Amino acid sequence: MKTLIQTVIALMLFTCTTSFALSKAAPIDFAQLNQYSNAQLSPDGTKLSVRIQVDQRWRLAIFDINTFDTIGGANLGGNISVGDYYWANNERLVIEMVIHEPWLDQPVFRGELFAVDYDGTGGEVIYGYRAGEQQTGSRMRKKESVVGWGQVLNLLPNDEKHILISSTPASKNRGAIPTVHKLNIVTGVMSKALTYAPIPYTRFVTSKEGELLFATGVDKNEDRKSYRYVDGDWQEFIQGKSDSFTPLITDDAQTKLYYLDREDGDKLGLYSKEYANGKVSKVYSDAVVDITDIVLSSDRSSAYAIRVDDGYPAYMMFNTGSEEAAMYKSMIATFPGYVVNITSRSDDGRLWLIHTENDISPGSYYLYDKKVNKLQPLFSNMSHIEQAILSEKTPFSFAASDGMTIHGYVTYPVTLKEGESAPLVTLVHGGPHGPRDWWEFDREVQMLAANGYAVAQVNFRGSGGYGEAFEAAGYKQWGDRIQKDIIEGTEHIIAQGKVKKDKVCIMGASFGGYSAVMSASMAPDLFKCAIANAGVYDLELLYSEGDIKDLLWGTKYLERAVGKDEAQLKEFSPVNRVASIKAPVLIAHGEKDRRVPFEHAEALRKALRENNKPYKWFVKPAETHGFFDVENRTEYFEEVLSFLDANL
């Protein structure tokens, strides 16, 4: 349903989201960027803001909440898009400037901040290397150009003119020490440093009013450390397993800290600690999975719900006495089968902005008026795709050959009838350590399913979310147990009888691209084709090429993840195993990829040529790690479908 606000947006931007006439399962349908994101209410609830994507640039639109008339916004123009943004007060917003470099298709945030009044006037670069270009006046302290990275820490609700930021100087290894400052959102003048961070890669925790409380970070040995701010100084704070300890918030009286840790041994749980006596209490930990998320209040001053994802998302409520907690519980009941978030609320508690999403919905926004008990739909992403062609994800689990329980998801095409079977694509996630597949909308999954392919996603050992031991079990196992989990997961889905066992392909990006080729070499009779996007194909190259080695803790990470044993690195490198591959390989890569440099793709192509193995080549000169440009992603999806059709 097209709402009034969608019509207003369409007229304002002189564009139409449904202007192209395509088949329901056309690749471009799934290649499109989400049109709406980060919708928020102004603190007084009189205005509604939303990021809108037009021609692969993000603009900001501001509407009157009563009439939905357009009353302002921001189009930064040129090669700059609106990134994340914040209502600093009822009149002025602070925006992260996202840069579209001419030699890159994927935009990047380089730490610059821009401030503008809601009506589009008074725009100023207030932080970054361009800030000094707009200096005015002679008696006032002027803005300074800063070659660094600005991060908003607190909007300082009791200060209309300033926000609290951290400023991290630019450095090759990204390990520079940040400083904390007050930043004037009108003049761009930055205070002298209030404090220096105690450690690189700092995550600061503040009180609701902006007082510094905690800092966590990672040192050059990849050790995670935590500090508490006491009397103007940082004191190391040891609590439980310090590498997992993550402070979140304190109670209003600042007598109790809520934090994430692994106090019970393996799974990440939520705990509280009383400062006075050191008493630790468990709020919740799960037997199967880590906590996925802690639902914080819109002003980030309290927490009231926990999300876990053992297959489907589930919520546990605590601290249920607040108005926002009661509202959240009500919205979960209103939208069963959805992931629900309160993105913002008016200060008086009348208006609430709700965001929902699930495996067949990439996200919708609703406005709830508590006074009149009215829930109004605002806008939905991917509304040009008919809901009827989208396919549901179903969780599964199985016992691996060594006895470890492995989880995953399978998506059967919605068109698959009882008694029929479909060709299968095993889609492998990246990482491998930390990321996992979720019950969520996945454009690649839906693109494949809409074209008749079943999709298996295996959360192999090494994936995040299933405890510390499960993730650690994947270290130095890239070419062994991890691939066996993927292969055995594929065989488990085949055994369910709804896919064609002789029509199976493996596909993935980044580590998933590595797995596509590696698994094809380990199970050459199982996979009839392999699609490898931005993949790592020579593990030894990780130590000499790419940006991981340049990070402060990069070498330590590589030693932990893949090891230093040269014989094993060679054995686990797909470029050295192509002789055993029977399946045709589609190699896709961006020439500007810094995470996994283009040399990996060239090395794999060379090895396939030397062994007379069939392959196809899909390369884009301006792409980085994956395909961001809509036209390039559309071409990639078309190439994928053509390759699957030819081989399955």
Residue by residue, DSSP assigns 593-633 as -SSS-THHHHHHHHHHHHTT--EEEEEETT--SS--SHHHH
Residue 625 covered by a domain: yes
Of 348, 379, 376, 327, which is closest to residue 90 (Cα–Cα)? 348
Domain holding 602, by residue range, is 387-647
CATH number at 458 reads 3.40.50.1820
What span, in angstroms and rounded, lies between the C-alpha atoms of 304 and 95? 28
CA 289 to chain centre: 19
What gap in Å lies between CA 201 and CA 217, rounded to an integer?
5
Tell me the pLDDT tens digit for each residue of 377-400.
999 999 999 989 999 999 999 999
Flag whether 393 is in a domain: yes
State the pLDDT at residue 133. Answer: 61
Task: Identify whether 469 is part of a domain.
Answer: yes
Q: How big is the chain, counted in residues? A: 648
The C-alpha torsion from 637 through 639 and 645 to 647, rounded to 10°, is -120
Which of 239-243, 399-403, 514-518, 575-579 shows the lowest mean pLDDT across its residues? 239-243
Residue 238 located in a structural domain: no
- Site of tokens 């795709």: 385
- What whole-number distance in Å separates Cα of residue 360 and Cα of residue 382? 10
Angle at 76 between CA 73 and CA 77, to 5 degrees: 125
Tens digits of residue pLDDT in 421-461: 999 999 999 999 999 999 999 999 999 999 999 999 999 99
pLDDT bucket at 24, cuts 50 / 70 / 90? very low
Q: How far is CA 637 from CA 305, 353, 414, in A?
A: 38, 34, 20
CB 32 within 8 A of CB 15: no
- Reduced to 3 states (helix: H, G, I; strand: E, B; else coil), residue 131 is helix
The structural domain count of the chain equals 1
Give the separation between CA 637 and CA 494, rounded to whole angstroms: 24
Q: Is residue 488 part of a domain?
A: yes
Which residues neighbour 497 within 8 Å (Cβ) at sequence distance 6 or greater?
A: 421
| Distance, C-alpha 415 to centroid of its chain | 30
Interval 186-198: pLDDT, tens: 999 999 999 999 9
Instruction: Cis check for the bond before 435: say yes or no (omega within 30 of 0).
Output: no
* pLDDT, tens digit (0-9, with 9 covering 90-100), for 86-132: 999 999 999 999 988 766 667 788 889 999 999 999 999 999 988 87
Q: Looking at 219-279, which runs of residues are DSSP E strands? A: 224-230, 233-236, 246-250, 256-261, 269-274
Give the model's pLDDT for residue 636: 97
CB 434 within 8 A of CB 461: no
Residue pair 563/480 in contact by the 8 Å Cβ criterion: no
The answer to whether the beta carbons of residues 515 and 486 sit under 8 Å apart is yes
Rg (CA), the chain: 25
User: Does some domain include residue 143?
Assistant: no
Other C-beta atoms lying within 10 Å of the C-beta of residue 253: 7
11, pLDDT greater than 60: no
Query: Which class for 18: exposed (0-12), middle (13-18), buried (19 or more C-beta within 10 A)?
Result: exposed
Please give the pLDDT value at position 12.
37
252/255 Cα distance (integer angstroms): 8
User: Which tokens hold the place of 380?
Assistant: 């939905």
The pLDDT tens digits of the residues spanning 208-251 come to 899 999 999 888 777 888 999 999 999 988 765 557 889 998 87
* Tokens of residue 434, six digits: 């930390």
Do 277 and 290 touch, CB atoms closer than 8 A? no
User: Tokens standing for 26?
Assistant: 């056309």
Provide the whole-model pTM.
0.91
Answer whether residue 465 is part of any domain.
yes
DSSP string for residues in 320-340 = TTSHHHHHHHHHHHHSTTSEE
Which whole number is the average pLDDT over 564-589? 97
Within-domain flag for 615: yes
